[in-house]
Amino acid sequence: MTPNPVPAQPPAPAAEAVTAVDPRLLVREQGFAGYLTEFQRKIRAGDLGSIPVVVGLIVIWAIFASLNENFLTAGNLSDISVAMVGTGMIAVGIVFVLLLGEIDLSVGSVSGVAGASFAVLNVTHGMPEWLALILSVLTGTVAGAIHGFFFARIGVPAFAVTLAGLLFWNGFMLQILGSNGTINLDDSGLVAQLSGYYFSDVAAGYGLAVVAVVVFFLTSFYDNRRRAAAGVPSRPLSEIVLRTALLAVVAFAVAIVFNQYKGLPLAVVLFLAVLVITDFVLRRTAYGRKVFALGGSIEASRRAGIDVALMRTSVYAISGTFAAIGGLFIASKITSANQGAGSGELLMNAIAAAVIGGTSLFGGRGRTWNALLGVLVITSIQYGLALQGIASPIQYMITGGVLLATVVIDAVTRKTQKSAGRA
């Protein structure tokens, strides 16, 4: 007897596709209440971002303003802003290296070589300034690429490679400067104007502030529309308006300060341009995502098809390039190249600026804007102590204490994030 056939079951309905969305992104649709909740969560998880350095900068300025009424004058603040650019440029390159979880000890010497190269090519051999400037910057690029080659291709630890570079390039600088040891630059020349030129017209400062505010608002607004069109949580318009208003307050306050002194410094304009461009590269391009990926996990990056050796070499070339640019700004500030260039506290200040600003020593977390915050803290401390007539040893001790506090915060943050399952 043939058994009755089992009736075919209707096909099960296809499971509805569910789009996984990080709950942390949903706060953008919950308005300010959502951001308050997110802020509380970040505090519990130890993800403080740039809050400690901003609070620290405010405290530093408040202390020095109470000790000396000249600290917050337009002239002193303008001098601080120009003086910080050389070290800040070097710190930008350091940020790239730290994002890999590595270090570059050669940047001070490379910056000295760049300044010396420019002086020798332009002053001693009569080469046009623009060409000597380009070649001196490329000197830094080549030096960084050499370090990257030995680190990425040969496998020599970055600490050893860049320590050797520190010694080699310092000796190379002394060699090309010769027995004289100092070469003075043209006070009205191209490099001297990097730190010495000011846009005296008040329209320049206010115009730059307007451009910054408008570009920020339009970028945020259209980025929001793009996210909304893609079905991704986005910020409410009210928050964009608030952020734009806060930026406007800061931008116009800075413009007012500059216009009360000599005007808008060219050095500051160039530094801000570098920060905007490098921040875009790191956050908005495939190259930047690869840098962060390498800082997160070398093996995972390799399995994802990233050319680890090439990326590492390119990052050190970038570090050398910005070291050279910073060296030119330092030479511009003193209108000379001498045997002391790139020595002293420059290396430590550049690394400290990146770390104090919020870039993690453990790799994978940071922004080039951290260089601005960090170098502003360090330069403010130096100028504040100088106004009080406090000797350099005390300046070193205080800067070292601030750096240690920052590294402790970074380590505690990393440990807390691991406990919260986010690292």
Bridge-based pairing of strands 182-184 and 336-338 is antiparallel
More confident residue, 398 or 246: 246
Q: To the nearest whole number, what is the mean pLDDT of the chain?
A: 85
Residue 220 contacts residue 245 (beta carbons within 8 Å): no
Residue 399 reports pLDDT greater than 90: no
Residue 332 reports pLDDT greater than 70: yes
Q: Is the dihedral of CA 234, 235, 237, 243 positive or negative?
A: negative
Question: Which residue is it, tokens 């399995």?
Answer: 303
| AA letter at 211 | V
| AA letter at 291 | V
Residue 414 reports pLDDT greater than 70: no
End-to-end CA distance of the chain: 66
Q: What pLDDT sits at residue 150?
A: 96
| AA letter at 197 | Y
Question: Which residue is it, tokens 């590294």?
Answer: 407
More confident residue, 167 or 25: 167
Residue 6 reports pLDDT greater than 80: no
Bridge-based pairing of strands 264-265 and 198-199 is antiparallel
Residues 6 or more apart from 409 whose CB is under 8 A from it? 48, 52
| AA letter at 166 | L
Q: CA 305, 106, 91: angle at the middle one, nearest 5?
A: 75
- Give the number of other Cβ atoms within 10 Å of residue 279's Cβ: 17
| Distance in angstroms (rounded) separating the CA atoms of residues 124 and 367 | 39
Q: Is the dihedral of CA 63, 67, 69, 71 positive or negative?
A: negative
Residue 28 reports pLDDT greater than 80: no
pLDDT digits (tens, 9 = 90+) for 290-326: 999 998 888 888 998 899 999 999 999 999 999 999 9
pLDDT digits (tens, 9 = 90+) for 177-210: 887 788 899 888 899 999 999 999 999 999 999 9
- Which residue from 137, 91, 95, 82 is spatially nearest to 328, judged by alpha carbons? 137
